[in-house]
Structure 1
Amino acid sequence: MPIESKSEWEDDLDLLLQAAQAAGARAMEFFRKEPEVWWKNEGRSPVSEADIAANDILKSTLLAARPNYGWLSEETDDDPARLSCDTLFVVDPIDGTRAFITGRDLWCVSAAVVHQGHPVAGVLVAPALNEAFASRLGGPALRNGKRVRVSEPGEGGPLRLAGAEDMVARLDRATLGVIQRIPHVPSLAYRLAMVADGRIDGTLVKVNSHDWDLAAADLILTNAGGALVALDGAALTYNRPEVRHDVLCAAGNSWLGRLISASCDLADH
């Protein structure tokens, strides 16, 4: 992928962080105050008035500053014109809406700039936790301004792995050894950030995650020394006609290969 000037992505990163913090502050006005909720995708996915309000702030702020960029958001009707854009914003106004509407604090605003199919700037703002992750192409992964790194495999200790119970049960234990399954983390983006900062060693991602769940966290994890990949080890490409993804796994590079090998039975999950 051609690399543009670093200063351009630094400016975009600053813009993303400003917009995501404003969107997060707006969402907090609804948090634990019983916001109105609707259901989409045949009643499978909730969306709240906070999602819409945060989306409005992101869209107006980001596109006003970069009117030539495309747009992809969970809460905005998809515009096929994005496919002709070299660069676009990929956002999820509230990743972890179910947690948000039940008053749990594990949710975040996810916002990324994707250039020629790859994230080049990304932020995750978790206002209820007072946390902000940020990274750009070629830069460090930061949480609240401090560099973070993935964990290294321990000597004889269990691997701390997040994932659905039935997925973890199908892993090859002979390859991975002892596994400590981490309780459910309702925000996929935040769960990937937990891999990036070493709180957990890796995660499995069920089929049907979307670009907006992944793009920002993917870059943050990469710059922290890890990767988010398909079960064949391939990196993800964003801004395709189909924004959904198959089963994925994420971990630090030191043991990602072991996780991929142990996950071969999950391809049809």
Structure 2
Amino acid sequence: MTDVDTALWRSDLELIADAARQAGKVALGYFNQAPEVWWKNEGRSPVSAADFAANRTLESILRSARPDYGWLSEETEDSGDRLSRDTLFIIDPIDGTRAFLAGMDLWCVSVAVVRHGRPVAGVLYAPALEELFEAVKGGVALKNGRPITVSTKPLDAPGRFAIAEDVLKAFPEPFKHRIERVKHVPSLAYRIAMVADGQIDGTFIKHNSHDWDLAAADLILERAGGRLVDLRGDVPLYNRMQVSHGELCAAAGPRLADLITRIGERRGS
């Protein structure tokens, strides 16, 4: 990574942080105001007027500032043009729409800059909580301007995990008793940020997460000392033809390796 690259990614980080704040302000104007809601993915996923308004704000700011970057957003019709771009924005205008619509604070604006398949700048802004997570390639992860790091509890200490109840029940008893299951966190991006911030020790992510759920949080976790990986231990690649992902784990050090091993044992592999 050259000094020119570093300067560009830091400039991009400033840009996307400002854009996320502005989009968050727009979304917050709809919060607890019963915005109009539609259903997508055969009626499985809600999308609201707030999602679309925040998306328009992000698109207006970012695409005018970096017209040569590609674009992938949950709330914009996908275009194959992005596959020809080395660098692009990956956006979720409101990650945690169900929580947003229920009046819960756990939702955020997710914005990443991805270069050659991996994030180089990422921001998560949770306006209802007044929290801004940010990271740039080669830098440290920050929350409201202060460095954050993953939990450093020893492996034999009880761990706090965000994990589905049905998944936890399938683990062997000795491992299961070392886990405190935390209450469901409706925003996947925010859940990964909680791992980065040391609030929880790890999380297991079921299949069918998407680039926009993961890219910004992935970099924030990495720069906080953790990793987001699949069950082979490989990091996700973004801006592929297929934007959904299989099962993933997020944690740090021995806890990550232990979680992957236990999932393998659960399946008899």
TM-score range, shorter chain: over 0.9
Code of the aligned partner of 2:252: G
Correspondence list, 1:1-269, <5 A: 5-154=5-154, 156-174=156-174, 178-264=178-264
Note if contact 1:121-1:219 (Cα within 8 Å) is conserved in structure 2: yes
Deviation at 1:157, TM superposition (A): 3.0
The 8 Å contact of residues 124 and 134 in structure 1, kept in 2 or not, is answered as: yes
**Aligned-pair CA distance for 1:265:** 5.3
Q: Report the Cα distance in structure 1 between the residues aligned to 2:186 and 2:2, rounded to whole angstroms.
A: 35
Tell me the matched-pair count: 268
Amino acid at match of 2:40: K
Question: Residue 254 of structure 1: CA displacement?
Answer: 3.6
AA paired with 1:233? G
SS in 2 for 1:263: helix
Aligned residue for 1:228, secondary structure, equals: strand
Give the CA deviation at 1:172.
3.9
Between stretches 172-181 and 100-109, larger displacement belongs to 172-181
Once the two structures are TM-superposed, the CA of residue 156 in structure 1 deviates from its matched residue by 4.5
Instruction: Summarize deviations over 1:2-55 as a string: whole Å, max 9, x none.
Output: 896211000000000000000000000000010110000000000000000000
Q: For 1:132, give the aligned amino acid.
A: L
CA distance 1:155–1:40, change in 2 (3 Å): closer
Query: Once the two structures are aligned, what percentage of the paired residues are identical?
Result: 57
Please state how far the C-alpha of 1:158 moved relative to its aligned partner.
1.2
Structure 2 CA distance for aligned equivalents of residues 107 and 210 of structure 1: 16
Q: What is the alpha-carbon distance in structure 2 between the residues aligned to residue 33 and residue 267 of structure 1? A: 45
Distance apart, 1:171 and its partner CA: 2.7
Deviation (angstroms), 1:154: 3.6
Moved more, 253-262 or 112-121: 253-262
- SS where residue 222 of structure 1 aligns? helix
- Structure 2: tracts of 5 or more residues without a match: none
- Give yes or no for contact 1:12–1:121 (8 Å, CA) kept in 2: yes
**Is contact 2:96-2:186 (8 Å) kept?**
yes
Cα 1:155–1:117 shift into 2, 3 Å: closer
Specify the code of the residue in structure 2 equivalent to 1:23. A
1:159–1:176 CA contact under 8 A, matched in 2: no
Provide the rounded CA distance (Å) in 2 between the counterparts of 1:38 and 1:225.
Answer: 39
For residues 168 and 29 of structure 1, what CA distance do their matches in structure 2 show?
A: 38
What is the alpha-carbon distance in structure 2 between the residues aligned to residue 190 and residue 95 of structure 1? 8
Compute the RMSD of aligned alpha carbons. Answer: 1.8
Moved more, 172-181 or 53-62: 172-181
Rounded Cα–Cα distance in structure 2 between residues aligned with 1:156 and 1:34: 46
Does the residue aligned with 1:215 lie in a helix, a strand or coil?
A: helix
Q: What TM-score, normalized by structure 2, do the two folds share?
A: 0.96
Return the alpha-carbon distance in structure 2 between the equivalents of residues 11 and 84 of structure 1.
23
1:87/1:260 CA distance change after superposition, 3 Å: same
**Does the aligned pair in 2 maintain the 1:176–1:262 contact within 8 Å?**
no
Pair 1:266–1:40, CA change in 2 (3 A): farther
